[in-house]
Amino acid sequence: MVAKTLPLHQLKFNSMKTSELIKILKANGCYLKKNGHKHDIWFSPKTGQTFAIPRHKGQELPKGTEKKD
């Protein structure tokens, strides 16, 4: 899979695994700030926002993950 370099709000999250999302985040300049117990904390220098991503890399993301604050 080639990582897409689209604005994060334009990405489609239907049936996406956490590992696929992480590839896209990295391609868009995001980076891991710290590891949590159930979620990793990521930062986007483009938006200045910090956000949590589930650590379950082999599982699909729950619907609505991209809309949560």
15-37 average pLDDT score: 90
Nearest CA among 38, 63, 6 for reference residue 52: 38
Q: What is the pLDDT of residue 69?
A: 47
User: Is 48 inside a domain boundary?
Assistant: yes
User: Is 21 inside a domain boundary?
Assistant: yes
User: Is 65 inside a domain boundary?
Assistant: no
What DSSP letter does each residue of the chain carry, written as one string? -PPP-S-GGG---TT-BHHHHHHHHHHTT-EEEEE-SSEEEEEETTTTEEEEEES-TTSBPPTTGGG--
Pairing of β 39-44 and β 31-35: antiparallel
Q: What is the pLDDT of residue 1?
A: 42
Q: What is the pLDDT of residue 49?
A: 93
Q: Global pTM? A: 0.67
Q: What is the pLDDT of residue 47?
A: 92
54 lies in which domain range?
8-58
User: Is 54 inside a domain boundary?
Assistant: yes
User: Is 31 inside a domain boundary?
Assistant: yes
Tally of domains within the chain: 1
Domain of 22, CATH number, reads 3.30.920
Proportion of the chain above pLDDT 70, given as a percent = 67
